[in-house]
Amino acid sequence: MADQPWKTDRWFSSPWNYLDEVTRGFAFPEKVEIHDVTLRDGEQQAGIEFSAEDKLRIAEALSEAGIHRIEAGLPAVSPADREAVARIAAAGFDAEIYAFSRCMVSDVELALDCGVKGVVMEVPASHHLIEKAYRWPVERAIEASVESTRFAHENGLQVTFFPIDATRSTMTQLLDDLETVAREGHVDKVALVDTFGVISPHAITYYTRRVKERLGVPLETHFHMDFGMGVANTILAAAEGASVLHTTVSGLGERAGNAPTEETVLALLTMYGIDTGIKTERFTEIARLVSDLSGVKQPPNRPVTGDMLFKVESGIIATWVKNVGDADLLEPFPYRPELVGQPPPEIVLGKGSGLDSVAIWLGKIGIYDAETKEIEAVLAEVKAKSLEKKRLLTEDEFREVVQQVLPGRI
């Protein structure tokens, strides 16, 4: 690790992140891997329908970016899903390909037919969910888990056991059930699952430590964003030793979505010094691809990949950007745009613009000698027109303003 890992030529985070009194007790694994679930949990977001070809394109982009594992889908859902999983598994990507399955032997057989390396095997964990939502006796869930995980292991698949709604179980019930499945069936890894995004960051260390102490197997994370805690919870679990982190591109997923890949990976890199080996420069490109294929338009200020992150309207920030130039761009931004595949910063014109913003735009249209009073007059009209239109001004509209305020200059 560099002497100043919080400040490199690509990012500038807080030095407090690396203080001994902050990092003491961290137990990050030697290698942190990303298990992308965009093609399964991401598609469960209402209204998203990926074709097999869509899934293949996304999987290829993810693998090329260095994503370690890709959950290609649930083969039991439909023939199209089986086709997608089989095509992705046969494509020869660098990423390991997993399928998702219920704890049913028939689901595992479909995964085997698709040629995947491993399966993430789900079963309801909270007894109240088993009894009220599934209308099963608890014993049925345990028996199905034991039978199907053993079958998957005997047929050469890596098994990640995935207890749904674990965080609304009692800890004793959860640990007893997990231990039974691990002892009588088979578990290579256990996913810490917060299906409804209801666990706080303060409780994550407790959850992770208890499961780790009881089972002694590698842990994965799968946390949702219903209260916006998914990224923080994922990182805190990793700091307790969880080695595989489930994420989705742009946070797609059921209800409020999953922990977003981009935010999770970038926070690990810049705030914790954990390099996953993923090519963060591909993030914006992949986010655009997934947005196009899913039909989900992302907020322009979305962390990491939002369209407007490096558009500068505020007059104060525009002055900063002008003064620092490219050499010290990390003064007004936490990381350089190219780190995540974003274009360079751009000064835009709107109600919040200042004198430097207008001066820069005047230079763009060839006026370099405007006096302060002239710039102030143009700025006043820019603010008025932007407020009237309730948006930023285009270059053509700016030219109209200049023609009106400074006739004869262009």
* 187 and 319 co-located in one domain: no
Contacts of 131 (CB under 8 A, 6+ apart): 137, 138
Give the pLDDT score at 2: 58
- Per-residue pLDDT reduced to its tens digit, 126-142: 777 777 767 777 778 78
Give the residue-averaged pLDDT of 106-111. Answer: 97
- Is there a contact between 189 and 153 (Cβ–Cβ < 8 Å)? no
> By percentage, how much of the chain surpasses pLDDT 70?
99
* 189 and 323 co-located in one domain: no
Give the residue-averaged pLDDT of 22-26. Answer: 96
- Residue 16 burial by Cβ neighbours in a 10 Å radius (0-12, 13-18, 19+): exposed
The CATH number that applies at residue 191 is: 3.20.20.70
* 318 and 270 co-located in one domain: no
Whole domain around residue 339: which residue ranges? 311-405
* 58 and 157 co-located in one domain: yes
- Per-residue pLDDT reduced to its tens digit, 204-262: 999 999 999 999 999 999 999 999 999 999 999 999 999 999 999 999 999 999 999 99
- Is there a contact between 126 and 166 (Cβ–Cβ < 8 Å)? yes
Residue 318 lies in a domain: yes
Give the pLDDT score at 14: 98
* 238 and 326 co-located in one domain: no
Give the residue-averaged pLDDT of 43-47. Answer: 96
Give the pLDDT score at 126: 75
| pLDDT of 1 over the 60 cut | no
Last residue of a domain, one of 233, 264, 294: 294
* 284 and 356 co-located in one domain: no
- Per-residue pLDDT reduced to its tens digit, 140-153: 878 889 999 999 99
* 199 and 338 co-located in one domain: no
Give the pLDDT score at 133: 67
Count how many domains the chain has: 2
Give the pLDDT score at 173: 84
Q: Considering Cα of 286, then 287, then 288, then 290, what sign does the dihedral take?
A: positive
Residue 1 lies in a domain: no
Distance (Å, whole) CA 269 – CA 304: 13
Strands in 151-203 per DSSP E = 158-164, 189-194
| pLDDT of 401 over the 80 cut | yes
* 90 and 31 co-located in one domain: yes
* 253 and 395 co-located in one domain: no
| pLDDT of 272 over the 70 cut | yes
- Per-residue pLDDT reduced to its tens digit, 159-187: 999 999 999 988 888 888 889 998 999 99
Residue 100 lies in a domain: yes
Q: Is 242 helix (H, G, I), strand (E, B) or coil?
A: coil
Q: What mean pLDDT value characterizes the chain?
A: 95
Residue 3 lies in a domain: no
- Per-residue pLDDT reduced to its tens digit, 315-371: 999 999 999 999 999 999 999 999 999 999 999 999 999 999 999 999 999 999 999
* 256 and 326 co-located in one domain: no
